[in-house]
């Protein structure tokens, strides 16, 4: 409704002000407080051209504008045009939300297929809280894009040919220890010792390098056993993912990239002149991508090696080929086997040597969720696509960069083991423990545990997603679990309140009637849900929805405290307030769902 109304309002502004519909649309904004429901700053655009003050123009346009239906009146306030919506508009809004329910807010702002790649954690350790930010960000973006109309594929890149995996396999076979407990945690702890030995013992280095060579060749017992170990580690990592409601469609293994598509991709790069073989200097014998874009001009050594002189590929080389596949620019493709059935009932597949052909790839846009420190390699990928003549694909290669999560004075290193004590699993269990202390007594033990799990996962999710990706997060439990505001529990509690009223009074019946300040303010926020979803999808920023949720919960609590619903004696007013309550319930639930947070009916 908001976008339909905005379009009609922009047309009226354009006619009255003598500007284009596009200019009028850009001038429409959302005022604060009492300054109307919708505003226009078009008079700023006209003032210089017509050599008159914006305030004078605002008065003139307000006097002559033909208002569309649902707009009750317009008021010139200084240089702004402030529009006030009618009670009939808000009654129709309530009817639309009640009709759409779980579909309320769903839009068609995104088209085609988008691949979202996340979290791509090395398969020899558990997720620490830094990895968790990647996973939560990727999952939320995928949810928002799907709700906005896009076809989304959630892809996880599994680096099963890395040195770290070879080291872990050596430790698994050579140290004589049997896995205990969760495999990813066991491997991660063992890796600390293996890494120490690798750095200090030349014989260990030689043995690990030999394992790595066999892994890259892809044949023999070692390669098969290593692949199996990696798969089991990823299954353990996904146990963590499922605690937070994170799912995937397919895992693409680096070994399969090398076997299935790498050769074709490299030949395509050579044919298009995207890489050249250096004959002298430090990169002699290497195939190098020459970086010629303006953003590389100030760099001392902007060129990027994709193929080393010994014929092996760099990480960036493999990433470039993988990006070509994501956009459907290669003829070769992967075969897929079943990896696992996820708790959401959906099957997750993995690339494999023998299997059925899949439907993945051939996307119109690719979102790679990778840390900010990978900005240069990601720019290289886009520049290579551009140099090959794939301008559209280069523009649609999006690096969703993020800063890391910190505890005060703490960093995380797999090699040094400083992540121990700060895994995503430990964070989750600590959250459940703290939430259990706050869940009301009276519920059965199993129900209290489920509520605590949902609150803990939601609190962590919201705390991580509320911060813009470019900013560092310093996680704090008191803030994350607060019921006073700026947290998931605050929003979830508002939903639980609304659900309790709905259980007792139903969905109500929306009618045109005079609205109080609290009712009107809450309805205006409900109207803006579509806008919030659109903005979060366009900018790939889940924090926009987090801020929306906080504002919606605050306005709902104001309505709850100042507008009696079940005890209201006026039947018409009661029906309307029940309808407002139900619309709040639906909007809160849909918004929380887009953030991957369970909308509890009881806390």
pLDDT tens figures, 263-288: 999 999 999 999 999 999 899 999 99
What is the DSSP code (8-state) at residue 304? E
Q: Are residue 446 and residue 359 in the same domain, yes or no?
A: no
pLDDT at position 295 is: 77
Residue for token pair 């649609």: 396
Q: What is the dihedral of CA 361, 277, 165, 191, to 10 degrees?
A: -130
Residue 566 structural domain: 440-594
CA distance 248 to 236: 14
Total length of the chain:
603
Q: Are residue 516 and residue 445 in the same domain, yes or no?
A: yes
Helix, coil or strand: residue 307 = strand
pLDDT at position 312 is: 83
Contact indicator for 137, 401 with CB cutoff of 8 Å: no
CA nearest to 532, candidates 591, 581, 459: 591
Structure tokens at 112: 């085609």
Contact indicator for 549, 595 with CB cutoff of 8 Å: yes
User: Phi and psi of 140, rounded to 5°?
Assistant: -65, -40
Residue ranges of alpha helices (H) inside 272-390 are 315-326, 375-387
Q: Are residue 367 and residue 497 in the same domain, yes or no?
A: no
pLDDT at position 420 is: 67
pLDDT tens figures, 47-63: 988 999 999 999 999 99
CA distance 381 to 286: 17
CA distance 32 to 441: 41
Q: Are residue 128 and residue 81 in the same domain, yes or no?
A: no
CA distance 412 to 433: 24
pLDDT at position 379 is: 94
In a domain, 286, yes or no: no
Residues of the chain under the 70 pLDDT cut: 33-34, 407-421, 441-442
pLDDT at position 211 is: 93
Contact indicator for 529, 147 with CB cutoff of 8 Å: no
pLDDT at position 330 is: 97
Residue 480 neighbours by CB under 8 Å, 6+ apart: 431, 459, 460, 462, 463, 487, 488
In a domain, 433, yes or no: no
CA distance 405 to 66: 52
User: Strand 365-371 vs strand 113-117: parallel, antiparallel, or unpaired?
Assistant: parallel
Q: Are residue 80 and residue 159 in the same domain, yes or no?
A: no
Q: Are residue 322 and residue 398 in the same domain, yes or no?
A: yes
Helix (H) or strand (E) holding 77: strand 71-77
Q: Are residue 350 and residue 456 in the same domain, yes or no?
A: no
How crowded is residue 514: how many other Cβ atoms within 10 Å of its Cβ?
9
Q: Are residue 65 and residue 142 in the same domain, yes or no?
A: no
In a domain, 58, yes or no: yes
Q: Cα Rg for the chain, rounded, in angstroms?
A: 28
Q: Is the dihedral of CA 240, 244, 247, 253 positive or negative?
A: negative
Structure tokens at 237: 């990592």
CATH number at residue 81: 3.30.1360.70
CA distance 93 to 504: 23
Residue ranges of alpha helices (H) inside 54-128 are 54-64, 87-100
User: Phi and psi of 437, rounded to 5°?
Assistant: -70, -20
Counted domains in the chain: 3
pLDDT at position 275 is: 94
CATH number at residue 191: 3.40.50.620
Contact indicator for 195, 415 with CB cutoff of 8 Å: yes
E strands in 145-196: 151-158
Q: Are residue 129 and residue 81 in the same domain, yes or no?
A: no
pLDDT at position 33 is: 65
pLDDT at position 274 is: 93
CA nearest to 188, candidates 252, 102, 124: 124
Residue 148 neighbours by CB under 8 Å, 6+ apart: 106, 107, 108, 109, 110, 533, 534, 537
Q: Are residue 480 and residue 331 in the same domain, yes or no?
A: no
Contact indicator for 252, 334 with CB cutoff of 8 Å: yes
CA distance 468 to 541: 7
Q: Are residue 503 and residue 571 in the same domain, yes or no?
A: yes
Helix (H) or strand (E) holding 480: helix 477-480
CA distance 3 to 70: 13
């Amino acid at each position: 409704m908001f976008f339909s109304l905005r379009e009609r309002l922009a047309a009226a502004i354009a006619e009255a002000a003598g500007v284009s519909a596009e200019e009028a649309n850009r001038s429409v904004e959302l005022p604060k407080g009492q300054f109307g429901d919708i505003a226009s700053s078009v008079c700023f655009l006209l003032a210089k051209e017509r050599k008159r003050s914006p305030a004078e123009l605002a008065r003139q346009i307000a006097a002559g504008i033909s208002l569309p239906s649902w707009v009750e009146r317009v008021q010139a306030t200084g240089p702004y045009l402030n529009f006030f919506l009618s009670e009939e508009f808000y009654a129709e809004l309530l009817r639309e939300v009640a009709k759409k329910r779980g579909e309320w807010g769903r839009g068609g702002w995104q088209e085609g297929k988008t691949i979202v790649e996340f979290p791509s954690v090395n398969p020899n350790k558990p997720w620490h809280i830094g990895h968790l930010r990647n996973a939560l960000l990727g999952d939320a973006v995928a949810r928002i894009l799907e709700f906005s109309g896009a076809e989304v594929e959630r892809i996880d890149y599994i680096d099963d040919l890395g040195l770290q995996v070879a080291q872990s396999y050596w430790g698994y076979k050579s140290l004589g220890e049997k896995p205990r407990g969760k495999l990813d945690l066991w491997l991660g702890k063992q890796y600390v010792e293996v890494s120490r030995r690798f750095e200090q013992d030349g014989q260990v280095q030689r043995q690990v390098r030999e394992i790595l060579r066999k892994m890259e060749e892809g044949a023999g017992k070692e390669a098969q056993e290593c692949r199996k170990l990696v798969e089991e580690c990823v299954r353990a990592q996904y146990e963590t993912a499922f605690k937070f409601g994170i799912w995937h469609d397919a895992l693409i293994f680096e070994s399969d990239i090398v076997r299935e598509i790498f050769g074709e991709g490299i030949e395509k790069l050579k044919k298009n002149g995207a890489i050249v073989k250096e004959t002298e200097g430090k990169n002699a014998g290497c195939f190098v991508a020459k970086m010629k874009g303006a953003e590389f001009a100030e760099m001392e050594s902007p060129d990027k090696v994709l193929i080393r002189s010994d014929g092996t590929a760099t990480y960036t080389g493999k990433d470039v080929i993988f990006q070509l596949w994501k956009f459907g620019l290669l003829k070769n493709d992967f075969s897929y086997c079943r990896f696992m059935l996820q708790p959401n009932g959906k099957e997750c597949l993995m690339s494999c040597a023998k299997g059925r052909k899949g439907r993945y790839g051939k996307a119109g846009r690719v979102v790679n969720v990778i840390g900010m420190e990978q900005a240069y390699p990601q720019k290289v990928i886009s520049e290579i696509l551009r140099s090959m003549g794939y301008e559209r694909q280069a523009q649609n290669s999006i690096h969703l960069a993020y800063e890391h999560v910190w505890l005060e004075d703490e960093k995380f290193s797999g090699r040094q083991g400083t992540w121990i004590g700060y895994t995503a699993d430990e964070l989750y269990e600590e959250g459940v423990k703290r939430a259990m202390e706050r869940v009301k007594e009276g519920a059965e033990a199993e129900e209290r545990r489920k509520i605590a799990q949902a609150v803990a996962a939601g609190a962590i999710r919201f705390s991580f997603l509320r911060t813009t990706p470019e900013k560092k997060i310093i996680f704090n439990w008191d803030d994350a679990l607060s019921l006073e505001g700026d947290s998931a529990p605050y929003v979830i509690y508002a939903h639980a309140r609304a659900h309790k009223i709905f259980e007792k009074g139903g969905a109500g019946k929306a009618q045109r009637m005079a609205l109080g300040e609290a009712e009107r303010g809450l309805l205006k926020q409900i109207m803006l849900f579509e806008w919030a979803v659109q903005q979060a999808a366009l900018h790939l920023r889940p924090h926009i929805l987090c801020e929306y949720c906080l504002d919606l919960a605050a306005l709902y609590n104001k309505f709850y405290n100042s507008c009696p619903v079940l005890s209201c004696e006026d039947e018409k007013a009661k029906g309307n307030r029940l309808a407002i309550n139900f619309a709040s319930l639906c909007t809160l639930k849909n918004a929380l769902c887009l953030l991957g947070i369970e909308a509890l009916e009881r806390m």
